[in-house]
Structures are given as structure tokens and as C-alpha cells.
């Protein structure tokens, strides 16, 4: 049945050579009980491992059932161990974290025996070794003798033709030893049993044949046997472990070490926790920063007005007492710093060429008036999109005011999709709709739905302070904008006055119809003041009015007159210019407001504006006001720096996490060396061992990923409370669910990668060495 031919096995340690097996030749019968006797260190275990295919010989040949094993592949050996050999060790080698039944089933699990058959065979084996009543106990509840019985049951469960026992009673008392020997003797009636022992009494009492062994050589053999050169009738069934089995094996292992596994998972989740928190914070901060930037810049756009003030440093001249008897005429500080910007075609074109990526929103305001009429309860009245009290067109006209926000009302940029994007970013519709075109205007209210009373009075509403108005009274209200040529009639001699027949003015077919399309409310407190409460309209509307009135009679008349054509009062050049502007005769904007969306883009916009002034003489330079820069010293560079720091932290955490995982898996490999040996003795392939550890790291990875994400999520609450107290910003830290899922996946992948290398190392471990380790 088994034939060893000139088997040699040498161990080389440093310079010394141990001849553990030195030219051993022996044959065994199909059924007998062989005892190998010999002193410690004589090579008995090496012989047994060699016969069982655990430790492959250096030279010679092992012939099994007529088949030479010289050309055996690794998987052939694995299958041989699994199908034909049962091992029993001195130290039992029962896997502590598996139940007794699972231990006995393990070999069959590896070879893929169906569940029912497997359990039935395992039960039978346990009954046979006398453990029937203890089947539900855990390994740590059994005595040494009982553990050895479990090991025997495991060895014979799959009914192997060879049973190899390495000092099976070495750790047992005499009485138990006798019982185990009786059991082995009985088992030897059906198969070949080779037992190694250094107890001659037991050997003599039970064995059929005694071989004395010393220094790797056979001294004598009580019942030698020579194998017939029999034909090859050897046949193997390959083993294979499913990933599910590996997972179960790892899971039960981890389950027995709950506290440790929890700690391990927690330790390796620390990396995930820190990354998750950094991500939560940085995306929260980014959101906050974007919002703050957007709101700040919407409230404080880069402004270019016709009249700007130069940034002049306060005079540091020492005041000297003058003794002269003269006075000096000097410009006031304020007048000195006043600069008139030439917002000519050239400059307007330059602004038009501004990269839309930097700022999609640019507002042009004009100091033109509107000839505005509305009908309230069937009566036509003059109206105004302004929130200044009592100002009638004529009074404005006479004072010839030129406000930076146009004549009354708020103007929003029409450059992007008629201002819809700009409005949508900061406002929500509470009634009606967003404006669809330049002829739609909106009413802006604050967060309490309050709006300016004068704005309402100016569009013809009769309201008292605190009075409430229904939305539907406002939304849909229509206005007519009358062209100058229809609105003003000539009184003769270059004097003009508004027509008095309101009804025919209102019904003139040249009029432009404007209506209130909706009521908009600011989205947050920080975006209040972007547009003042009251009526707001697109700058396109004023541009259209100017286009209609530019060449009207009254404009022409005003341009050629030295007095106000409506009042007759004399007018100097500046006043004249304002009057022409007011009548819609000037295409020069009163101011240009640029709304960049980030500070970084604002920096670029300013750079672009500065470039225009390069090489120009002082009076041709255009000076802008960077209001946002004055109220906040946040810059694009600072924002980037914050993000970089956060990313760097996340990176460090990731590396730490990976190293942790690799160390933990490596420790686990070291700790389970014995188990690897047992699995190999039972016929597990290298792949199976790798699988067991991969399964374990998968479990660890998923657990630590989930744990990390959950802890990080829980941590966002106290972090937000602390940040709220410190900075008054709420909900800064927000864990994005997509990030959470990605982190669990990353944790799993990293853990498996980090653990795969030690797992491969484990699989490569020499089975014999693994079993020798204690
Ligand atoms: P026995 O079982 O008879 O006590 P072993 O077969 O365990 O003896 O060992 C035989 C000899 O081989 C001993 O001298 C032992 O030190 C040596 N040996 C066994 N395994 C190794 C190994 N992996 N490396 C080096 N020497 C070994
Ligand atoms: Mg030994």
C-alpha cells in the first residue's frame, strides 16, 4: 500500500546539517498497526510527515498504491492528504474557535462534501470515538483525552485508508492513554495505522509491528514486508474550499474574539474616521465658503461709478506754523480724491470682453427716469419703481439727481438668462413667478415678508405703516411705460410739459407694458441687502427705455438748451448732462456692478480691470471700488490653502490606516500559524489558506469601514455644536452619503490589499513547520 524507497530529508541550519531521514526504505501493508519507536529527535515526526505528504522528501520516492509521487504537484499532495490520510497529533490541534462538530467536519468541508452527508459522517465518527453525549460542547469544555478523541474523529470522519498518529498519548495520563490506544487499535482493523511513540510498553502491547528508529535510520523491523510491484490503482479527488467556507471559518474565528475584533476594527477605523471627518468638514466648509463668498460678493459687487473716489493716503506732512502774511487756496481733501471715470464705449467694450467664467453677472445702472403709468380702480396714475418717499418724476427731474442705483428701485443683472440665475441663487419665489423677460419686474421682500412702504405707495397702493396686502393684489399689476414723444408735449419756445390726458396716454399703442411677475424673498439672512426691498427690474429694461428715448424731441431740445426744458431754470454743463441722462438721452451707465462668484475670481476681475489702466494718463484711468475687499479680507489664495491643508490631513490618515491594517493582519497570521498547519494537514490548498485570511480581512474591512463612517457621522453633531459656538456657523460638518459609501468600499479594498500580502505569506508557510510551532 505504501512504499518508501531510499527517502532522504536533510535540514540545513547555518553550517550544520541534520539528517532527519537518512536513506529510509520501508513498506507498509494495507491493514496493520505499525509503531515506530525511537528517541526524541531521531526523525520520527519527519518520517510521519513525509508519509502523510506534509513535508516533502528531498530524494528517494514514496510509492502510494503503485503510484510514484516523484512528479506530484502541490495540489496532488493536498488532495492526497485530504482523501487518503488522517492525522492525529500529540497536541490534539483542535481548532478552538470552531464547535466540535465543525472541527470534525472541516476536512470534508474542504473537499466539498454535501452538508447533510458531512454532518452525518461527523456524528458517526464522534459516536465511534465515544463523544456522542458531548457533541454540543465547545473544545474548551473538554478534557485532554476527549480533545484527542475529537482529533481522532476528525481524522477518521472521511474514512481515510491511512491514519498517522504522532505520539497520540504523549500528553495523556496512563489510564486515558490505554483508552486511546484501544480506540486506535480498533481503527487499525480497517486501515493502515502508523503510530510514532517513545513509549515501548504501549507499542509492545498494541502494535502488530514495531520499527525501531534512531538518527534517521531504521534499526530493526519486527515484521518486515515487501510490496509486490503492484499496478497503479491510485486515484485522487481534488479539494476546493469555497469563499463562503472561508468566510464562515474567519467569521467564527473573529466571533470567539469579539472584544479583540471590536478593538481591531476600531483601531483600523480611526483612519476612516479622520478621513470622513475631514471630508465632512471640508465639504461643509466649502459649501459655507461658497455661500459666504456668493453672498458677500452679491452684496458688495465690484463697483465702477461715474464719480469715484481715489484711495488717498491721509497726509503725513508735519504741520508747520506759517509766519507769512498770506493765505493759500487749496482743494479740500474730498474734492482732491474725486475722480470722474470715463465710462466710454471703449471701456464698455472692455468690460463686455470680461471672461464670463469670472463673472456671469454684470449690472449696468442708468440715471434715466421712466414715464410710468398704472391703473388703480379704473383710474390712471403716475407711478414709480422707487422706494423714496414722495418723489415724483418732476421733483426728481428738478433735483437732477444721479444715483448709483439708477432712478429708484433695484436693478439686477440681465446678462445671465435675464437675471434668472442671479435671482434664483439668492431669492425664492413666494408668489407668482421669476421674471421671464425684461418687461417683468418683481417685488423683493425680506424674510418677514416686509417691504418698503414707499415702494408700494409709488406704484399706486394706498397703504399705512404695518398694513398687510394680499399677494394677489400685487402680483400681475400692470404698468405702461410711455415714450418721451408721447409723454411730453411742447409748450413752445423750447419748453416742455407732460401731457395731462392720462387715459389717452395710458392707452397709447406705442407704450411698453410691464407687469409684476412675482414676489421674491431672500433665501438667508446673509443675503439680505443684495437688492433693497421694493420693486426690482432688469437692467435690460432701462436699456430699452434709453433706446426708445435717445433721439426723442425733448432730449434733443434739452441738449441744445442752456436751461431746464421743463422748468425753465438755467442749467450749467453738469446739470445739463444730468437732465439729458434723466430723459434717457445718454447711453453712458451711471455705474457698472460686477458680481464675481468667488473671491478667487474677484481677484482675477480686479487684475483685469487694473490692466485697462496700464499706461493711461491719470485722467483717463477708470477707478473701481472693491467693496467686498473692504468688508472682508478673505482671498482666493487663503481659501485654497485651507483646502490643501484639509486634503493633506486626509492623506496622512489614509496612509496611517493602511499601515494599521497590514500590521493587524500580519499579527493575525502569526497567531493562527497552528490553524494554517491543521488546515494544510486536512488537505487545504495554498489558495484556501489565502482565502481564509482574505475573508477575515474582508470582514474586518467592512466592519471598520462601517464603524468609521458611523462614528464620524456621530461626531459631526458635537463638532457642529462646537463650531456653532465658536464661529456662529451652523451645520458646517456634513457627511455626504456618497462619501460614506465610498469610504466603506475604500476601507474594505485597502484592508484586503493590506492583508493580502500577509495572507499570501501565511499560505506559503511550510505545513510541517506550522504544526511544530507552539
Ligand atoms: P522526533 O519526532 O523523532 O523527535 P523530528 O522528526 O521532529 O524528531 O526531528 C528530527 C531532527 O530534525 C531533529 O534533530 C530536529 O531538530 C530536526 N528538524 C526537524 N524539523 C526541522 C526544521 N524545520 N528545521 C531544522 N531542523 C529540523
Ligand atoms: Mg516528534
Pairwise pLDDT comparison (610 vs 252), residue with the higher score: 610
Nearest by Cα to 656 from 748, 750, 745 = 750
| Average pLDDT value for residue range 122-127 | 94
Q: Whose CA is nearest to atom 16 of ligand 1?
A: 41
197 C-alpha to center of ligand 1: Å? 15
pLDDT band at 119 (very low <50, low <70, confident <90, very high): very high
Pairwise pLDDT comparison (529 vs 79), residue with the higher score: 79
The answer to whether residue 575 scores a pLDDT higher than 90 is: no
What b-and-e string marks burial along 59-74, b requiring 16 or more CB atoms within 10 Å of the CB?
ebebbbbebebeebee
CA distance 427 to 451: 14
| Average pLDDT value for residue range 220-239 | 78
Q: Whose CA is nearest to atom 25 of ligand 1?
A: 11
Share of the chain above pLDDT 90, in %: 30
- Start-to-end C-alpha separation, the chain: 33
Pairwise pLDDT comparison (229 vs 715), residue with the higher score: 715
Query: Going by C-beta distance under 8 Å and a sequence separation of 6 or more, which residues neighbour residue 378?
Result: none
| Average pLDDT value for residue range 679-707 | 86
217 C-alpha to center of ligand 1: Å? 13
- pLDDT attached to residue 328: 78
| Average pLDDT value for residue range 600-615 | 89
Query: Going by C-beta distance under 8 Å and a sequence separation of 6 or more, which residues neighbour residue 400?
Result: 575, 578, 579, 582
In the chain, CATH 3.40.50.300 covers: 2-238
Pairwise pLDDT comparison (661 vs 167), residue with the higher score: 167
The predicted-structure confidence for 288-303, as pLDDT tens digits, reads as follows 777 777 777 777 888 8
The answer to whether residue 468 scores a pLDDT higher than 80 is: yes
Pocket test for ligand 1, best of 10, 11, 87 (most atoms within 8 A of CB): 11
Is any atom of ligand 1 closer than 6 Å to the C-beta of 42? yes
- pLDDT attached to residue 404: 33
The answer to whether residue 107 scores a pLDDT higher than 70 is: yes
Is any atom of ligand 1 closer than 6 Å to the C-beta of 16? no
- pLDDT attached to residue 230: 64
Q: Which ligand is nearest to the CA of 51?
A: 1
Cβ proximity of 444 and 530 under 8 Å? no
Cβ proximity of 39 and 33 under 8 Å? no
The answer to whether residue 537 scores a pLDDT higher than 60 is: yes
- pLDDT attached to residue 472: 87
Pairwise pLDDT comparison (451 vs 245), residue with the higher score: 451
What's the chain's average pLDDT? Answer: 84
Cβ proximity of 40 and 20 under 8 Å? no
| Average pLDDT value for residue range 121-127 | 94
- pLDDT attached to residue 408: 58
The answer to whether residue 10 scores a pLDDT higher than 90 is: yes
Cβ proximity of 236 and 73 under 8 Å? no
Report the length, in residues, of the chain. 774
- pLDDT attached to residue 399: 41
| Average pLDDT value for residue range 548-574 | 86
Cβ proximity of 188 and 28 under 8 Å? no
Pairwise pLDDT comparison (397 vs 700), residue with the higher score: 700
Q: Which ligand is nearest to the CA of 166?
A: 2
30 C-alpha to center of ligand 2: Å? 24
Pocket test for ligand 1, best of 18, 47, 56 (most atoms within 8 A of CB): 18
The dihedral through the CA atoms of 328, 329, 335, 340 has a sign that is negative
The predicted-structure confidence for 625-650, as pLDDT tens digits, reads as follows 887 777 666 666 676 677 678 778 77
Lowest mean pLDDT among 251-255, 374-378, 575-579, 732-736: 251-255
- pLDDT attached to residue 18: 93
Is any atom of ligand 1 closer than 6 Å to the C-beta of 20? yes
CA distance 247 to 225: 46
SS3 336: helix
| Average pLDDT value for residue range 698-716 | 90
Pocket test for ligand 1, best of 7, 14, 42, 43 (most atoms within 8 A of CB): 43
Share of the chain above pLDDT 70, in %: 92
Tell me if the domain spanning 2-238 has CATH number 3.40.50.300: yes
Is any atom of ligand 1 closer than 6 Å to the C-beta of 769? yes
Is any atom of ligand 1 closer than 6 Å to the C-beta of 13? yes
Is any atom of ligand 1 closer than 6 Å to the C-beta of 107? no
Residues facing 35 on adjacent strands: 195, 210
- pLDDT attached to residue 395: 45
DSSP β-ladder status, 534-538 and 512-522 = unpaired
Query: Going by C-beta distance under 8 Å and a sequence separation of 6 or more, which residues neighbour residue 133?
Result: none
The answer to whether residue 371 scores a pLDDT higher than 80 is: yes
689 C-alpha to center of ligand 2: Å? 25
Lowest mean pLDDT among 5-19, 26-40, 337-351: 337-351
| Lookup result for grid cell 413666494 | 430
| Lookup result for grid cell 444715483 | 403
SS3 38: coil
The torsion angles phi and psi of 383, rounded to 5 degrees, stand at -140, 170
pLDDT band at 316 (very low <50, low <70, confident <90, very high): low
Cβ proximity of 305 and 625 under 8 Å? yes
The predicted-structure confidence for 384-440, as pLDDT tens digits, reads as follows 887 776 555 444 444 433 333 334 567 888 765 556 678 888 888 999 999 988 889
Cβ proximity of 626 and 634 under 8 Å? no
Report pTM: 0.61
Pairwise pLDDT comparison (468 vs 207), residue with the higher score: 207
Amino acid at each position: 500500500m505504501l512504499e518508501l524507497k531510499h527517502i532522504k530529508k536533510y535540514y540545513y541550519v547555518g553550517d550544520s546539517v541534520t539528517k532527519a531521514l537518512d536513506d529510509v526504505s520501508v513498506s507498509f501493508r494495507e491493514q496493520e498497526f505499525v509503531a515506530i519507536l525511537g528517541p526524541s529527535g531521531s526523525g520520527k515526526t519527519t518520517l510521519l510527515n513525509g508519509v502523510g505528504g506534509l513535508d516533502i522528501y528531498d530524494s528517494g520516492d514514496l510509492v502510494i498504491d503503485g503510484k510514484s509521487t516523484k512528479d506530484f504537484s502541490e495540489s496532488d499532495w493536498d488532495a492526497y492528504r485530504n482523501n487518503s490520510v488522517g492525522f492525529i497529533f500529540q497536541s490534539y490541534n483542535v481548532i478552538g474557535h470552531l464547535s466540535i462538530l465543525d472541527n470534525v467536519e472541516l476536512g470534508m468541508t474542504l473537499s466539498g462534501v454535501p452538508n447533510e452527508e458531512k454532518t452525518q459522517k461527523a456524528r458517526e465518527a464522534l459516536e465511534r470515538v465515544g463523544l456522542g453525549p458531548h457533541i454540543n460542547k465547545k473544545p474548551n469544555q473538554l478534557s485532554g483525552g476527549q480533545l484527542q478523541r475529537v482529533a481522532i474523529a476528525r481524522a477518521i470522519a472521511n474514512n481515510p485508508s491511512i491514519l498517522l498518529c504522532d505520539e497520540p498519548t504523549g500528553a495523556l495520563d496512563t489510564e486515558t492513554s490505554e483508552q486511546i490506544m484501544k480506540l486506535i487499535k480498533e481503527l487499525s482493523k480497517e486501515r493502515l495505522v502508523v503510530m510514532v511513540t517513545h513509549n515501548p510498553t504501549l507499542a509492545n502491547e498494541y502494535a502488530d509491528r514495531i520499527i525501531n528508529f534512531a538518527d534517521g535510520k531504521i534499526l530493526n523491523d519486527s515484521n518486515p514486508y515487501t510490496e509486490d510491484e503492484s499496478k497503479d490503482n491510485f486515484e485522487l479527488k481534488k479539494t476546493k474550499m469555497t469563499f463562503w467556507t472561508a468566510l464562515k471559518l474567519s467569521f467564527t474565528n473573529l466571533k470567539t474574539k469579539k472584544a479583540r475584533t471590536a478593538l481591531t476594527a476600531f483601531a483600523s477605523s480611526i483612519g476612516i474616521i479622520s478621513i470622513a471627518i475631514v471630508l465632512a468638514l471640508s465639504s461643509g466648509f466649502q459649501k459655507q465658503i461658497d455661500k459666504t463668498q456668493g453672498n458677500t460678493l452679491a452684496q458688495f459687487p465690484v463697483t465702477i461709478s461715474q464719480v469715484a473716489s481715489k484711495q488717498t493716503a491721509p497726509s503725513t506732512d508735519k504741520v508747520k506754523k506759517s509766519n507769512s502774511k498770506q493765505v493759500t487756496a487749496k482743494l479740500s481733501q474730498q474734492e482732491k480724491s474725486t475722480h470722474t471715470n470715463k465710462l466710454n464705449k471703449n471701456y464698455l467694450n472692455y468690460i463686455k470682453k470680461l471672461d464670463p467664467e469670472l463673472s456671469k453677472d454684470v449690472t449696468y445702472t442708468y440715471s434715466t427716469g421712466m414715464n410710468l403709468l398704472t391703473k388703480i380702480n379704473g383710474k390712471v396714475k403716475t407711478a414709480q419703481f422707487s422706494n423714496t418717499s414722495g418723489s415724483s418724476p418732476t421733483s426728481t427731474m428738478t433735483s437732477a439727481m444721479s444715483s448709483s442705483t439708477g432712478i429708484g428701485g433695484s436693478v439686477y443683472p440681465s446678462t445671465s438668462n435675464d437675471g434668472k440665475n442671479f435671482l434664483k441663487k439668492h431669492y425664492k419665489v413666494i408668489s407668482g413667478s421669476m421674471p421671464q423677460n425684461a418687461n417683468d419686474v418683481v417685488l423683493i421682500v425680506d424674510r418677514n415678508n416686509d417691504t418698503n412702504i414707499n415702494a408700494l405707495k409709488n406704484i399706486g397702493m394706498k397703504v399705512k405703516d404695518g398694513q398687510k396686502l394680499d399677494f394677489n393684489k400685487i402680483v400681475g399689476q400692470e404698468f405702461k411705460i410711455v415714450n418721451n414723444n408721447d409723454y411730453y408735449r411742447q409748450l413752445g419756445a423750447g419748453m416742455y410739459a407732460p401731457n395731462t390726458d392720462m387715459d389717452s396716454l395710458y392707452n397709447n399703442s406705442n407704450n411698453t407694458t410691464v407687469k409684476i411677475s412675482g414676489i421674491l424673498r431672500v433665501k438667508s439672512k446673509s443675503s439680505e441687502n443684495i437688492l433693497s426691498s421694493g420693486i426690482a427690474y432688469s437692467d435690460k429694461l432701462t436699456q430699452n427705455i434709453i433706446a426708445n428715448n435717445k433721439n426723442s424731441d425733448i432730449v434733443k431740445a434739452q441738449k441744445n438748451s442752456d436751461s431746464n426744458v421743463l422748468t425753465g431754470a438755467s442749467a450749467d454743463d453738469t446739470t445739463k448732462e444730468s437732465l439729458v441722462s434723466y430723459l434717457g438721452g445718454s447711453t453712458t451707465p451711471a455705474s457698472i456692478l460686477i458680481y464675481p462668484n468667488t473671491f478667487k475670481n474677484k481677484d482675477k476681475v480686479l487684475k483685469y480691470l487694473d490692466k485697462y489702466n496700464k499706461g493711461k494718463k491719470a485722467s483717463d484711468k477708470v477707478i473701481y471700488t472693491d467693496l467686498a475687499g473692504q468688508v472682508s479680507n478673505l482671498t482666493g489664495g487663503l481659501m485654497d490653502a485651507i483646502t490643501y491643508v484639509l486634503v493633506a490631513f486626509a492623506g496622512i490618515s489614509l496612509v496611517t490606516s493602511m499601515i494599521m491594517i497590514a500590521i493587524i493582519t500580519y499579527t493575525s497570521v502569526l497567531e493562527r500559524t497552528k490553524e494554517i498547519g491543521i488546515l494544510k494537514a486536512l488537505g487545504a490548498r495554498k489558495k484556501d489558506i489565502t482565502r481564509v485570511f482574505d475573508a477575515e480581512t474582508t470582514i474586518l474591512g467592512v466592519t471598520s469601514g462601517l464603524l468609521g463612517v458611523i462614528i464620524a457621522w456621530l461626531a459631526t453633531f458635537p463638532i457642529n455644536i462646537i463650531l456653532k459656538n465658536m464661529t456662529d456657523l451652523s451645520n458646517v460638518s456634513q457627511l455626504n452619503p456618497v462619501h460614506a459609501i465610498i469610504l466603506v468600499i475604500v476601507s474594505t479594498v485597502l484592508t484586503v490589499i493590506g492583508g493580502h500580502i500577509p495572507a499570501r505569506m501565511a499560505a506559503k508557510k511550510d505545513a510541517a513547520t506550522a504544526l511544530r510551532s507552539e
